[in-house]
Amino acid sequence: MKVLTTLLSFALLTSVALAQNPSKLPSATVQTLEGKKVDTRTLSNDGKPMIINFWATWCAPCKKELNAIAEKYAQWQKETGVKLVAVSIDDARSMNRVKPYVNGQDWDYEVYLDPNGDLKRALNVNNVPHTFLVNGKGEIVWQHNNYEPGDENELYRKVLELVGRK
Amino acid sequence: MQRPTFLRHAAACVVAAGAFAPVHAQNDGGSLHGNFSTDAQYYLEDSIIGAVMPPQRFAANAWTNLIYTNKNFEAGIRLESYEPPLAGYPAGQPYKGTGVGYRYIKYTMADLEVTFGNFFDQFGQGMAFRSYEERYLGVDNAMDGFRVRYKPYRGIYLKGLMGQQRFGFDNGFTKGVGIVRGADVEINLAELMDTSWTSAGNLIIGGSFVSKYQADNSSQLVLPENVGTWAARLHYTSPKWDLYTEYAYKINDPNNRNGFIYKPGQAMLVNATYSVKGFGASLGAHSFDNMFYQSDRTSPSAFDLNINFLPPLTKQHTYNLPATLYPYATQPNGEVSGQGELFYKWKKGTKLGGKYGTKLAVNYSVAYALDTTQLGAADDTTRRLGYTSRIFVPSDRMYFSDLNIELRKRVSETWELALTYLNLVYDIDIIQGKPGKAKVYGDMFILEGLHNLTDRTSLRFEVQHLSTKQDQGNWATALAELTFSPHWFLAGMVQYNYVGNEDLEAKGQEPLAYPLGSVGYIRGGNRFQVNYGRQRAGIFCVGGVCRQVPASNGLSLSITSTF
């Protein structure tokens, strides 16, 4: 219990200390659905906001979230130029299902595979869904774990704030 | 006494580093980040469901990761605590105490990357080598050694690694006795030829060689000390098509899992998909023969010290009953399996699509035993070769089949419904290691509804039913979840095992209810969840590895945090 308290308190202390520190996307190698290797430090949206969403084909709330956003995505893009990058953490078991699933859902996202969990670990993601919002300078400015219907509206409010509209 | 001192020390370092990090960040790009997670439970006695009751009454798994990055340098550490671990955790070798579970340093110089200490990696889809972690299962075969990745020319990727694997945890991670070495090369033709990515197809070829060393300590057998496995893979992609195949061959590797036979092992997987907007289809086949590959030939369990990963070719379900009662697990000693899948979306405005569109998903998977012929016992040399077999030739023993159909439709502005039918055949004797138990034949129906009450409030419910005459008989599950975006949720679930079968009732199987309530609070990267009630014994799977979780009753708390 003592250990737990210690761990807990230093985790919280550190999080307080770092909460205000915007950080850049870390470097990790992910793959496109065409098998191209991409260094995540090169991901960008030409000075406009970018959403990084971690998901998996076996994660029901993840799919709900991405489907909910899909219905509004065209409008979001038109209004703010935001781009959604969907990072699948499906491993060898299900990574082959990602491409037919994504197309079957008719999604327009930029999709990457992270089968070895390299980016997931680099961004300290515990579980999916987990969403990061990156500003035009490539800094992570907001994050959210979990998905509940309506969370996409909160996310979009943050995107609007980034482009200076409320 | 060493432990608390170390922790105080570590805590002091972290806090100090954290305090300076913002300053650093502005000066030279250095930053410190991490996460924390814990699953804790207070156990209550409940003999009716056969609940576990650890003598400590309170148990918790806790982890925290810290990663420091500065330009091309990165260092990370993970502390873990199990005082004691949750009942039934982990899957393999026991974990106890508190200490360092993982640590590494990594630096990158142009196209060369060097990692020292612990790392996770995989060659292709992992049939020759994969080190990975599934924290919630307690599977962690991290390497401890070094790895070099090098890109000598565009489109050519080389990897080499060496080390020992994580085994258990005793106030710090412990290592297996075997040494693992491996090298991998991957050539990405489109990148190499520098052709356009957007239109043309791409071909990626790869090959790897992995070897393990363990001294021959047997007085009866002459054991191979170095056991090699090679693998080759091919991946073709185009905007619509995707074809992946991988083959692995292992030389003779007498071990605990195969009864110390000298037969070589083989594994092959083939997967093809075709997809366009609104339509996706895939077909796959796997076959494994004597492919357990562990860095200790006498490894006590199938969960520990695995060098390779053999993915099961079945759908990983998300609903509670199909996900946790009868999930399939790969049979590395011998299996032939296949899967077909289809996704279709009827667009808005079409006859079946209606005003909002309709989605269909159909999935069928089946797994059989490999057809084998035992070699005679007359001659000891022949007998030690075990059996003869041919890859992809199944016997008539079906291990598993699963046909599932899901229809999902938004029926109005505020209502979405999903209906699932699932038919299951499950060889519980082989898959769960319960010899003599009858094969389970089941049918399931699941209805899920989501109703948006306001922009921020929604109600979701699930009703699930399994009917079977075998094992524990029928199950019914009802779940309701009220969510208040973006911070709160409230959920209640009741699972009812009402049997409904005279044969099982005669054997003493009684109707049982498992109520469970949950409250959750989420703020940014922090998530808190409290559960109270009965949790049914079940099988908990992530990514294709499964752990048996015992029945329990009590109060549990989960916290995850990312910073």
> What's the confidence (pLDDT) of residue B2?
37
For residues A134 and A143, the answer to whether their CB atoms sit within 8 Å is no
Closest CB to B316: pick one of A12, A64, A94.
A94
Is A21 within a domain?
A: no
- CA dist B235 and A32 (Å) reads 13
Which chain A residue has the Cα nearest residue B131? Answer: A116
**CA count, 13 A, side-chain hemisphere, B40:** 21
Question: From the candidates B192, B277, B291, B346, which should be mutated to test the interface with A, based on the most A CB atoms within 10 A?
Answer: B277
Q: What is the pLDDT of residue B391?
A: 95
**Residue A79 belongs to a domain:** yes
Task: Let me know if residue A14 belongs to a domain.
Answer: no
To test the contact with chain A by mutation, choose from B318, B404, B540 the residue with the greatest count of A C-beta atoms within 10 A, namely: B318
Minimum distance, in Å, between the CA of residue A147 and any CA atom of chain B = 8
* Residue in B409, B405, B406 with CA at minimum distance from that of residue B348: B409
**Domain for residue A7, yes or no?**
no
* 3-state class percentages of chain B: helix first, strand second, coil last, to nearest 5: 10, 55, 35
Tracing tokens 């020390």 back to the chain, one arrives at B9
Tell me whether residues A11 and B125 touch, CB distance under 8 A.
Answer: no
Q: Which residues of B touch A5 (CB under 8 A)?
A: none
Cβ neighbors of A106 (< 8 A, separation 6 or more) are A70, B277, B278, B345, B347
Q: In angstroms, rounded to a whole number, what is the distance separating the alpha carbons of residues B181 and B228?
A: 9
Helix (H/G/I), strand (E/B), else coil: A164: coil
Q: Indicate which of A38, A99, A109 best probes the interface with B, i.e. most B CBs within 10 Å of its own CB.
A: A99
- What mean pLDDT value characterizes chain A? 87
**Three-class SS of residue B176?**
coil
Does residue A95 belong to any structural domain of this protein?
A: yes
- Tell me, what's the pLDDT at B118? 98
Backbone angles phi, psi at B378, to 5 degrees: -60, -45
Q: For tokens 């000693």, what's the residue?
A: B333
Of the candidates B40, B273, B311, the beta carbon closest to that of A99 is on B273
Question: What digits encode the pLDDT tens for the residues B262-318?
Answer: 999 999 999 999 999 999 999 999 999 999 999 999 998 899 999 999 999 999 999
pLDDT at A18 over 60: no
The span from the CA of B225 to the CA of A155, in Å, is 56
3-class SS letters over B429-489: HHHCCCCCCCCEEEEEEEEEEEEECCCCEEEEEEEEEEEECCCCCEEEEEEEEEEECCCEE
Contacts of B286 in chain A (CB under 8 A): none
Which portions of chain B are predicted below pLDDT 70? Answer: 1-29, 195-200, 378, 500-504, 507, 509, 541-545
CB contact under 8 A, B242 and A18: no
> Do the chains contact at A33 and B311, CB–CB below 8 Å?
no
Sheet holding A29-32, edge to edge: A23-24, A139-145, A130-134, A50-55, A83-88, A110-113, A29-32, A37-39
Q: What is the pLDDT of residue B29?
A: 64
DSSP class of residue A145? Answer: E
- What are the backbone dihedrals phi and psi of residue B23, each rounded to the nearest 5 degrees, phi first? -65, -45
- What CA–CA distances, in Å, run from B447 to B162, B418, B420, B478? 50, 6, 6, 10
Residue A4 lies in a domain: no
> Can you list the alpha helix ranges (DSSP code H) found in B131-274?
189-193
Nearest to B93 by CA among B165, B40, B179: B165
* DSSP H or E run through B265: strand B265-276
Instruction: Determine the pLDDT at residue B113.
Output: 96
Euclidean distance between CA atoms B385 and B541, whole angstroms: 34
**Domain count across chain A:** 1
| Measured distance CA(B448)–CA(B158) in Å, rounded | 47
Query: Which residues in B lie closer than 8 A to residue A142 (C-beta atoms)?
Result: 524
Per-residue pLDDT of A19-70, as tens digits, reads: 445 688 999 999 999 888 999 999 999 999 999 999 999 999 999 999 999 9
Look at residue A1 and tell me if it is in a domain.
Answer: no
State yes or no: pLDDT of A17 exceeds 70. no
Continuous segment of H or E residues that includes residue B506: helix B502-506
Q: Can you give the length of chain B in residues?
A: 563
* Greatest distance between any 2 Cα atoms in chain A: 52
- CA-to-CA distance for B455 and B345, rounded, in angstroms? 26
Enclosing domain of residue A126: 26-162
Which pLDDT value is given to residue A13?
47
Q: Is B508 exposed, middle or buried (0-12, 13-18, 19+ CB in 10 A)?
A: exposed
Under 8 Å between Cβ of B232 and B246:
yes
| Identity of the amino acid at A118 | D
Helix (H, G, I), strand (E, B) or coil at B384: coil
CA distance B122 to chain A (A): 7
Predicted pLDDT at A19 = 43
The answer to whether the CB of B250 falls within 8 A of the CB of B264 is yes
pTM for this predicted structure: 0.90
Tell me the CATH number at A98. 3.40.30.10
**A101 closest CB neighbour out of B3, B34, B280:** B280
**A131 within domain boundaries:** yes
H or E element in which residue B80 lies: strand B73-82
CA distances B230 to A85, B124, B206, B433, B461, Å, are 35, 12, 11, 30, 49
Q: Following DSSP, what letter does each residue of A45-60 receive, concatenated?
A: -TTS-EEEEEE-TT-H
- Residue B342 one-letter amino acid: L
Residue B145 neighbours by CB under 8 Å, 6+ apart: B161, B162, B163, B164, B180
Return the number of other C-beta atoms located less than 10 Å from residue B433's C-beta: 11
Give contacts of B280 with chain A, Cβ < 8 Å. Answer: 99-104
Give the C-alpha distances (Å, rounded to integers) separating A95 from A35, A112, B125.
11, 10, 9
